[in-house]
Amino acid sequence: VQLQASGGGLVQAGESLRLSCVVSGRGFTIKNMGWYRQAPDKQRSLVAYVTDSGSTNYEDSVSGRFTVSRGNAGRSLYLQIINLKPEDTAVYLCAADIVKWGRSNQLRYWGQGTQVTVSS
């Protein structure tokens, strides 16, 4: 199982970005997927997640500006961000909760992260 995140960059406040995360590998089922972010000297925090049935949930500070979605038969995760703010600057990491075929336990896998930097 591998997760590859992309789409970050250096943008100005008010601009938009679309982050992507692709899960590769075989022999597993993907349950929930989510985006986390970690700013310098801060703890990693959940930004948004989407379940395998399509339900979404957002951290309060990003509600209305961030939209999380899945595609590619559930193997891709997206985060559309509008009206970016300097406080959104962080490394954004994708995560997937996975159950391998023949197993009952769920494991969390992480992507490597993509840097989002918002200048004022």
pLDDT of residue 39: 95
For residues 101 and 105, give the distance between their C-alpha atoms in angstroms, rounded to a whole number: 10
**In the block, which residue shows the tokens 């951290």?**
59
Share above pLDDT 70 across residues of the chain, in percent, rounded to a whole number: 100
Spatial neighbors of 16 by CB under 8 A, at least 6 apart, are 80, 81, 82, 83, 84
pLDDT digits (tens, 9 = 90+) for 45-83: 999 999 999 999 999 989 899 999 999 888 999 999 999
pLDDT at 17 over 90: yes
Measured from the Cβ of residue 114, the count of other Cβ atoms closer than 10 Å reads 23
